[in-house]
Structures are given as C-alpha cells and as structure tokens.
Amino acid sequence: MADSAYAVIGGGLVGMAIAWGLANRGKQVTVFDEGDRGFRASRGNFGLVWVQSKGLNMPDYSRWSRLSAQLWPKLSEELGNVSGTDLELSQPGGIHLFLDEDEAEKAVADMEKLRAALGGDYPFEYLGHNAVKRIIPEIGPEVVGALHSPMDGHVNPLYLLRALHTGVRDAGAKVLHGPRVERITHTKDGFRIHREDGVWSADNVVLCAGLGNARLAPMIGLDAPVVPNRGQVIITERVRPFLNVPTAHVRQVGEGAVQIGDSKEAAGFDDSTSKNVIAKIAHRATRYFPLLENVRVVRTWGALRVMSPDGHPIYDKSQTCPGASLVTCHSGVTLAAAHAKVLAGWICGEDAPDYMEVFGAQRFALQKAG
Amino acid sequence: MSERFDVAIIGAGPAGLAAAGVLGQAGCSVTLLDEQAEPGGQIYRGIGSASGPRKSVLGADYAAGASLLPSLAHDSVTHIAGATVWEVTPERDIYYSQAGKASGLKAEHVLVATGATERPMPFPGWTLPGVMTAGAGQILLKTAGMLPPSPCVLAGSGPLLFLIAAQYLAAGFKIDAIVETTPRGNLAKALPHLPGALLNNKYLRKGLAMLASLRKAGIPHYKASTSLVAEGDGQVEALKFTSGGKPHRLACASLLIHNGVVPNVQISRSLNLDHAWDSLQHCWHPVTDASGATSLAGFRVAGDGGGIAGAEAAAHGGRLAALAILEDLGKITGGERQARSSDDSAALKWHGRARPFLDALYAPAREFLEPADSTIVCRCEEVTAGKIREFVDLGCLGPNQAKSFGRAGMGPCQGRYCGLTVSSVIAAKLGKEMDEVGYYRIRPPLKPITLRELASMDLDDDADERPAA
Amino acid sequence: MRNVLHFKRLDEASGDTVELTFEGEPVTARAGETVAAALLAAGHISGRQTPVSGSPRGPYCMMGACFDCLVEIDGEANRQGCMTQVRDGMVVRRMTGARDVDRGSAA
Ligand SMILES: Cc1cc2nc3c(=O)[nH]c(=O)nc-3n(C[C@H](O)[C@H](O)[C@H](O)COP(=O)(O)OP(=O)(O)OC[C@H]3O[C@@H](n4cnc5c(N)ncnc54)[C@H](O)[C@@H]3O)c2cc1C
Ligand SMILES: Cc1cc2nc3c(=O)[nH]c(=O)nc-3n(C[C@H](O)[C@H](O)[C@H](O)COP(=O)(O)OP(=O)(O)OC[C@H]3O[C@@H](n4cnc5c(N)ncnc54)[C@H](O)[C@@H]3O)c2cc1C
Ligand code: FES
C-alpha cells in the first residue's frame, strides 16, 4: 500500500486549501513543503478577496472568483472553528480608487464589457469623487472617482495560512516540511516523491508548488508555464480604525496597520524591494489618503506572484500519468474557498462546474497556435 | 541626483571615528552618519559634552574616547548627526532621515560600524516599566548624569553589569543588590581559555578590581541565580529569584538587567551578507576578513558589529578597514597598507586574547535563551515563547514562518529584541543548530519612517510610470 | 499615574534648563538631554500603553532600539523619546494604544 492516497506538493495557500478539502473528504493526504526560506507568495500577499476586474478576458474566471467569494464565509467559519483563530474576513464591498480620469474610464468600459459577457449579472458601480467621499471621508482631493463592487472583501492571509495548517493536521493529514521535492516518478503502481531525505509513495499527486510547479510538472505529464512576477508592499505601524472598506491598493488590517500595495514587475527570482517602486507606491498612497503622510512605515517587502501567461489559474489532470493533477493560480487568497470546497472535489472525481476545462494548460498551446 | 562620497561610514563609535580619522587624513571624501546627536557611539556616549565630574565617575577608559574626536576635524569628513540610516542597498545607496526629512547619498565604499545591542534577556516581567537594560542605565549616566531610583537591583551576567555597578559606586550611588545569573558551570568551561587570557590580563585585572570594590562596598551579590520574575502592578516593584537553593524576593524601584552584548546585524542582514553563528559568543556575526571585508564587494564591517571585542579593539578594527579602503581607492599601495596596518593588527590580536575566556565565563544562561512558555519574547507584538513552540508544532522550521504565523518580529523594533530568542527557542525545540534554523529576513526600512519621507524619494515625476494595479 | 520614585541627577546644579509639559504637567529638563531622560527624572516611568494589550511600558534600552519609549511630541505620534532632544515649550503626551491616523507632525 502506498504511503498516502494523495501527495500534495507545496504548503502555500493553494496546497493547504486543496489538502484541507481532500482531507475533509476522508482522503489520506500527505503535504510536502519546503522550509523557512522557500519562495512563498502566501506569506507576502495583499489579503484581498477580490472579484471586480478578475477575468476581463475570461468570463469563466470571473464566475469562479465570484463563486469563491460566496463560499468564503463558510470557509472562514469552519477554519475559525478548528483553529480558534479569527481570520478577520470582512466582505463589505471593495473600492478601486482612481487618480486619473482616463484610467477610470477605461476600467469602467472593461467592467461593462465583462458584465455584458456575463449576461448582466455582475454588480458594480462607478462613483464620482463626492460619492466616494461619502463612503470614505478620508480620500484626498486628487481622487477622481472609484469603482465599487459589493462582491469584494479582505481577510488576514497569514492567519488563513496558519489556520489551514492547523485544519489540515486536525483533519488527519500529514505535513512534511523539509528539503524540496526533487523529483516525482510515475510507475505502474502509482507515484514516488523523491526528496534528499527519503522517498515516499502515493496513489495520486497534486502539484501545488507555486513557482516550483514549472520544474515538477513535466515529470508527470503536465505543463505549468508559470513565472515569477514581483509585487512590492508596504506596511505601517498600527493606527486606530479609520478605513472600513478595502481598496485595491490600501487597506487597514485587523491589527490596525495599513497595508499598501503593490507593484507588478518581472524581476526573476529576486524578491527584494527597490527604492523607486516602493517610493512610488508610497507616493500614490499619500495621494489617495493624504492623512497617511505622517503614519510610519514599519516594513516593506517584495514577494513573487505565481503568474501564468494569461494571469488565469491552471487546473489540469495529466493524460499520460493518471492520478496526477496541477493546481496553480495568481489569486490564491480569493480562490482559497473554491479550492477547498469545489476544486478538491474535482480532483477526486466529484462533479464540478462545467467550465472547469477552460482552465487546462492546453489553452496556452492553442493561444500560441492562434 | 544624490551626493557621492568615496566612503560612507555608518556609526560614529570608536570604529567609525577611527576609520574616519585615517580616511580624512588621506583626503578621501567621507560622510559619517550616526543617529545620535553626538559622536562617540555606545561606549563614549556624550563624550563631547560630559562634565569633568561626570568623566571622573565614568573612569579613564571613558575619558580616553575624547582622543577620537579630532577625526571629525578633517575638511573632507562630514559628520551627519541625528541621521538614522533606514536603508542600504547592494548598489551602495544609503538612505537616511534627519529631523523628519529623508535624503540619499551614494558611496564608493561603505563601512558598517553600527556596534552592538544588548542581548535579549526575556523573563516574566521584563516588560514592566522600571525594568531597563544596564546599558540604558549607563546611557542615562553618561548623557544626563542620572541615577536610577532606589532600591535598585542589577540582574544578569557579563562584564558590563559589574562595570555599571562600579561606575554608580564611583558616583556615590550604591545599588542594593547584584543578582548574577551566570550559570555555575561556566567557570569550568572557561578555565581552558585562561592561559590565553593571561597573555592579556588587562581585562582580568580590571574585572577583579571591579568585583573587589563592589564587595568592599558591601553590595549583596547573589550568584548563579535562576527563575527570575519581575513583579509589579504597572511598574516594577520586586524581583523574585532562586539563589543558593533558596527563593528570594527583593523589593526594587528600578531593575537594570543585562545579558551581554551582541552584534547589531540589522544592516548586514538586510543586505543578505553571509553570517556565521559564533557558539562561544552565542550570536551571529557577518563573515569578514581581517580588514572587515564582507561577502559583498564594497562593504566592510568594523567594530562590535562584526563580532564583540570591545571599544579599543573597535578602534583598531576601524583603522584596519580604513587602510584597506585606502588601498582599494588607490591612495596607498599594498605594501604601504601592510606597513601601516601592523600595529593595529597586533593590537587587535592582543585584545582578542582575553575574549574566549570572558565569552565562556559569561555565556548566557539557558533560562533566557529558551524562556518558559508564558514569557513574552517579542516585546512589540507581545508574543510568548509558548506561541513560538506551538508554531514549531505546526511545522515552522525557522523564524520567518513563525513570524508570519504569529507576528513575532513584525513590530517597530524589527526583531532586534526577539530575533535571537525566537531562533533559539525553535532550534531547541527541533534539536537543531542555530545555523540550520537561521534568522529573520530583515527588510527596509531599518527603522520606521513616515510615509511622507518614503514618498519623498519618488523623484521621478513621470506619472505614467506609477505602479500597476 | 505619577511615580514618586525619580531618577536623580548627579550634577544637580549644572546646565541650562528647558521647560516642557507631559500630559499638561510642567517638566523641567536640562538642555541637551532626551525627552525620555527628562520624563524619568520627573518620575514618569511609563509613557505609553501598548497597542496590543494596553499594558504600560517605559524606556527600556535608551539607545533607539526597543521602541518602548514612544510618546507623542508636539502633536506627532509615536516618537522615540530616547532619540529626541528636549526643546523649550515641547508638548509631550502619553501614547495610549494605537495612534490616530491624523496625529500629524507640527512641521
Ligand atoms: C504582492 C502580492 C500580492 C498579492 N495579493 C493577493 C490578493 O490580494 N488576493 C489574492 O487572492 N491573491 C494575492 N496574491 C496571490 C497569492 O498570494 C497567491 O496566489 C498564492 O499565495 C499562491 O499560493 P501557492 O500556494 O500557489 O504559492 P506559494 O505561496 O508560493 O507556495 C508554494 C509552496 O510550494 C513550496 N514548494 C515549491 N517548490 C517545492 C518543491 N519542489 N517541493 C516542495 N515544496 C515546494 C514552497 O515552499 C511554498 O510553500 C498576491 C501575491 C503577491 C506576491
Ligand atoms: C548600551 C551599551 C553600553 C555599552 N557600554 C560599554 C562600556 O561602558 N564599556 C565598554 O567597553 N563597552 C561598552 N559597550 C560595548 C560597545 O559595543 C563597545 O565597547 C563599543 O562601543 C563598540 O564600538 P563600535 O564603534 O563598534 O560601536 P558603537 O560604539 O556601538 O557605535 C555604533 C554607532 O552606530 C550608530 N548606529 C547604529 N545603527 C545606526 C543606524 N541605522 N543609523 C545611524 N546610526 C546608527 C549608533 O548610534 C552608534 O552611535 C556597550 C554596549 C552597549 C550596547
Ligand atoms: S528606550 Fe528603547 S528605543 Fe527608546
């Protein structure tokens, strides 16, 4: 008998959500994760549970994100119960502030197009300066307007990761931290997971190794053309509550600190910060909220997104190595609920939304050919 | 855009001042940045302004610091006082804030001379107002001529603990007790290093003289004390501990604690320089050669920031680093450097002789490296040792995952007073070496700055280049 | 909360004095010393309550490393008292928990 029915490779938000979903379905799961300093987008992200503007070119991705946002309260409650941690989920609607009329106009046009593609079921509105001010009195004079969507919210992503680690163990799964998985081999009686410190067998493998997927996927007949995309983020000292809705670039976290993001840069595997980008992010934040000027910045950081060529998730099952699947995405906070509640079921053969196959990696071959 | 210098020195203690002297004399353009209002570093705090009586209380070693101040007189040396360095990039751009305004400069060579901080000494009650480090007590004496309220108890281990007691005594102030936590077994472990130390017995003689003066003054000295607990409602009122097999409780209005000093590695860590664990000094230090050269070209470290060796050694180290920089800048030849380095090299070696004995003798007690579960280890975020152990049970193999699980090290001090403890709690629980467990990833800013200051560094007016959503 | 236990000055007579206030109460300090030192000499051992649990804290390291000496100075929240020199007329206040976002600089 194999060491486990499912080997999940990667203990970030994606791997842990899948592992939790599998373990709660009674599957015997082992998670393989790296140690303290692995690249981990799950440790450096912005914490938004965000639907607006997702899937502008792929309406099914928008549906999927929205489904996840709807499943989030249940996930939060369940994880809260097993871990005794309040994940600080709040979904009061989200605001995307604009400092530039043209930029705002273009964003509204994109959102209207998406709404049409979704048959009109896509709630959002554009608010002018004064209307935004009624929701957030603290905005500065340079804010021209904002997109507001009731679908959006935010959560404490670090507590989410911790709660998933607690929950996964609580559900009976094993988590093996240590050296990275070097190799995965497929034999007639299943899979072998090779690490520097041993070899484990599994009936099924789910690749959730973030940026590590690119190297591992071809070993088991999968394709994961993901590359790092750096985001830089600022966090301030704690302040008393002043901002009770999340905005796309500035939000106040549960402890009171103000988190300010973020950039999108191709910087290879360099997760350091750069002064120009951080200064620009800081500058933009003071234009959104001039009263933040005197608040102290405690830390800045860079983290690497796991980016597919079109920015959308890749969910795939191996044709050549049955039992192997791949789960990777850019918005692993937002999608955590869908991953745990729906995708884990899809992996073990349960019914799933009929649009799942649009997320297969073969779309990249088609895009290239076309 | 930013001013350029041959050399930027961060830290105006003995190491930085001595280096500035050598570089200034050679006509290099030097900027010496320090966040204190006055030069002198930790040991010579307030040296330029201390009154005669204050100097005599602090002793000859302190007064000797004044001899370093002429370094600042060279025309090519700019001392920027009150300048907190908050970021140093691998490209040798240095960002600092002075009176709420941020500036940047660029240097060909960077000398990090940021000295030491006191090793964390977590025990129940160490966060109560009125509990301070012995170094803080000394700084109050040096810069403000202040003495702590009585009854005053000193607790902990290390030469500095006795030095401050002796300095207080010279000021006519008798502390009420010394509660020494040096473990009983240390002496036996130190003895093999004694012959080496006898080759430079200056430190030993001074130490013994200090201890004798404290004994003569009749200050109660509790040895091998354990199980420290500071008690008080809103501020410290008493210290409880066990010594000689008996429990004790000493009332106190001030409690000064000390557990040795460790290199301040904030800048070297933020640059991801190579660091090594020193199992004798129980701390990390950046890996350097004899001239302070680090794993990154253009960066040198001198003084206690490179490994604890004391003030005089710091000055020698500063000069050695400066001479190496002069050679790199083409101002002197390799031969000249060697000739001019020999005195400082020899002196540095001599100062190092006494170290292993002192380090082994004053090796910190386990109780403070692996505190009990209920003890706060991260003062800023109030995270206990027990929480860190829970995170290890949840799979954390190092401090960075523990930090993201429970916020230890996320406060404004950036892990300065919990980093060593968190790593050692994890190492002990996993049965691993400190090197395997590692240290916090240090990120800018090294000290909090306002968003306005950060935004003021956005020098490029091109609005189109704003970061993407 | 005023503590009767003051830090004492060694050279009591010397030095120019500077007047500031802490929570509205007058404090006489010596020119050149830090706000944290001046408060300790005036018997104010704690200048803040933490934003995490509300527990009282006072200066711990006096060298700018621990951030337990934070106070509000001239309207600016969370300044390090041990790194700020006293000035005549300075208005110093206790930090109680997290700061307000708009406690701005006087500059
Ligand atoms: C700056 C920034 C802001 C973001 N903001 C948001 C947001 O607001 N909302 C949102 O929904 N998403 C956001 N994201 C994205 C989100 O963080 C990621 O989608 C999510 O964390 C990805 O999780 P993951 O588990 O796939 O990857 P990771 O977190 O990178 O985890 C991968 C894991 O796999 C392990 N691993 C890799 N290789 C191996 C191997 N060979 N063997 C064993 N283990 C391996 C790694 O150690 C790691 O633990 C943001 C990302 C960034 C960088
Ligand atoms: C509180 C304390 C008291 C001590 N007292 C004594 C004593 O009485 N006798 C003794 O022999 N040894 C004492 N020591 C040991 C001391 O480390 C050395 O004796 C000596 O000061 C080391 O010299 P240095 O030049 O390496 O560093 P330091 O003298 O420590 O100088 C470092 C300087 O760097 C500055 N600095 C640090 N970080 C930054 C930054 N980010 N931006 C700008 N400036 C920065 C600091 O303000 C400081 O002035 C003490 C140590 C401490 C921590
Ligand atoms: S007392 Fe530690 S920072 Fe001021």
Q: Note the pLDDT of residue B60.
A: 87
Kindly report the average pLDDT of chain B as a whole number: 94
Residues A77 and A194 in one domain: yes
The 3-state secondary structure of A63-129 reads: HHHHHHHHHHHHHHHHHHHHHCCCCCCECCCEEEEECCHHHHHHHHHHHHHHHHHCCCCCCCEEEEH
Contact B451 A293 (CB under 8 A): yes
Q: Which residues of A touch C103 (CB under 8 A)?
A: 294
Tell me the average pLDDT across A118-127: 97
Q: How far apart are CA A187 and CA A194, in angstroms?
A: 13
What one-letter code names the amino acid at B248?
Answer: H
Over residues B138-156, the pLDDT tens digits come to 999 999 999 999 999 999 9
Query: Would you say residue A245 lies in a domain?
Result: no
Give, in order, the Cα–Cα distances in Å from C4 to each of A136, B176, C1, C7, C82: 46, 18, 10, 10, 21
- Which residue matches tokens 């049965």? B431
Residues A273 and A330 in one domain: no
Query: Would you say residue B463 lies in a domain?
Result: no
Over residues B254-272, the pLDDT tens digits come to 999 999 999 999 999 999 9
Which of B332, B355, B380 terminates a domain? The answer is: B332
Q: Note the pLDDT of residue B464.
A: 39
Which of A307 and B70 is assigned the larger pLDDT? A307
pLDDT at A8 over 60: yes
Q: C45: Cβ below 6 Å to ligand 3?
A: no
Q: How far apart are CA A192 and CA A184, in angstroms?
A: 6
Q: Note the pLDDT of residue A97.
A: 98
Residues A212 and A313 in one domain: yes
Q: How many residues does chain C have?
A: 107
CATH number at residue A278: 3.30.9.10
Q: Quick one: which of C50, C47, C49 has its CA closest to C59?
A: C47
* Domain count of the fold of chain B: 3
Write down the ipTM of this complex.
Answer: 0.94
Residues B103 and B164 in one domain: no
Nearest CA owner, ligand 1 atom 3? A45
Q: Note the pLDDT of residue B467.
A: 43
Residues B105 and B133 in one domain: no
Token pair for residue B181?
């936590």
Residues A219 and A326 in one domain: yes
CATH number at residue B90: 3.50.50.60
Q: Long-range CB contacts (< 8 A, 24+ apart) of C65-68?
A: C65/B117, C65/B264, C65/B413, C65/B416, C65/B417, C66/B379, C66/B413, C66/B416, C66/B417, C67/B380, C67/B411, C67/B412, C67/B413, C68/B127, C68/B379
Nearest C-alpha of chain B: how many angstroms from A319?
34
Residues A30 and A132 in one domain: no
Residues B57 and B175 in one domain: no
Where residue C64 falls (left for φ over 0; alpha for ψ -120 to 50; beta otherwise) is left
Query: Would you say residue B464 lies in a domain?
Result: no
Residues B153 and B235 in one domain: yes
Q: Note the pLDDT of residue C3.
A: 46
Q: B42: Cβ below 6 Å to ligand 2?
A: yes
Residues B241 and B289 in one domain: no
Residues A53 and A36 in one domain: yes
Residues A70 and A163 in one domain: yes
What one-letter code names the amino acid at B162?
Answer: F
CB nearest to C78's CB, from A240, A258, A296: A296
Query: Would you say residue B395 lies in a domain?
Result: yes
Residues A35 and A128 in one domain: no
- Identify the weakest region by mean pLDDT among A102-111, A358-367, B101-110: A358-367
Provide the 3-class DSSP secondary structure of residue A321: coil
Q: C47: Cβ below 6 Å to ligand 3?
A: no
Which of B210, B230, B259 terminates a domain? The answer is: B259
Q: How far apart are CA A69 and CA A51, in angstroms?
A: 7
CA of C65 relative to ligand 3 center, distance in Å: 6
Query: Would you say residue B148 lies in a domain?
Result: yes
Q: Which residues of B touch A47 (CB under 8 A)?
A: none
Q: Quick one: which of C101, C105, C92 has its CA closest to C46?
A: C92
Q: How far apart are CA C37 and CA C60, in angstroms?
A: 11
CB A219 within 8 A of CB A193: no
In which domain, by residue range, is A300 found?
Answer: 90-153+227-233+263-307
Which structural domains are found in chain C, ordered by start?
Answer: 17-94 (3.10.20.440)
* Domain count of the fold of chain A: 2
Q: How far apart are CA B68 and CA B14, in angstroms?
A: 7
What one-letter code names the amino acid at B361?
Answer: L
User: With b meaning 16 or more CB within 10 Å and e meaning fewer, what string describes A196-220?
Assistant: eeeebbbbbbbbbbbbbbbebbebb
CATH number at residue A189: 3.50.50.60
Which of B332, B361, B385 terminates a domain? The answer is: B332
| pTM (two decimals) | 0.95
In which domain, by residue range, is B268 found?
Answer: 4-117+262-332
Provide the 3-class DSSP secondary structure of residue A170: helix
CB A299 within 8 A of CB B448: no
Residues A100 and A196 in one domain: no
Residues A165 and A136 in one domain: no
Q: How far apart are CA A252 and CA A235, in angstroms?
A: 9
Query: Would you say residue B195 lies in a domain?
Result: yes
Q: How far apart are CA A138 and CA A144, in angstroms?
A: 14
Which residue positions in chain C have pLDDT lower than 50?
Answer: 1-3, 106-107
Residues A9 and A148 in one domain: no
Q: Quick one: which of B40, B42, B45 has its CA closest to B143?
A: B45
Residues B205 and B299 in one domain: no
- Which residue matches tokens 């609005």? B463
CA of B310 relative to ligand 2 center, distance in Å: 9
Q: A313: Cβ below 6 Å to ligand 1?
A: no
Q: Quick one: which of B15, B9, B8, B7 has its CA closest to B263?
A: B15
Suggest the residue from A292, A295, A297 to mutate for an interface test with chain C (most C CBs closer than 10 A). Answer: A295
Give, in order, the Cα–Cα distances in Å from B325 to each of B22, B109, B298, C52: 10, 7, 9, 46
Over residues B363-405, the pLDDT tens digits come to 999 999 999 999 999 999 999 999 999 999 999 999 999 999 9
CB B292 within 8 A of CB B301: yes
pLDDT at B70 over 70: yes
Where residue B85 falls (left for φ over 0; alpha for ψ -120 to 50; beta otherwise) is beta
Residues B78 and B111 in one domain: yes
Task: For residue B221, count CB atoms less than 10 angstroms from its CB and return exposed for 0-12, middle for 13-18, buried for 19 or more.
Answer: middle
Over residues A245-297, the pLDDT tens digits come to 999 999 999 999 999 998 999 999 999 999 999 999 999 999 999 999 999 99
Q: Note the pLDDT of residue C104.
A: 61
Query: Would you say residue B377 lies in a domain?
Result: yes
Over residues A199-256, the pLDDT tens digits come to 999 999 999 999 999 999 999 999 999 999 999 999 999 999 999 999 999 999 999 9
Kindly report the average pLDDT of chain A as a whole number: 96
Answer whether the bond into residue B151 is a cis peptide, omega within 30°.
Answer: yes
Q: Note the pLDDT of residue C1.
A: 40
Give, in order, the Cα–Cα distances in Å from A284 to each of A126, A277, A288: 20, 11, 6
Over residues A48-78, the pLDDT tens digits come to 999 999 999 999 999 999 999 999 999 999 9
Query: Would you say residue A247 lies in a domain?
Result: no
Residues A60 and A8 in one domain: yes
CA of A256 relative to ligand 1 center, distance in Å: 24
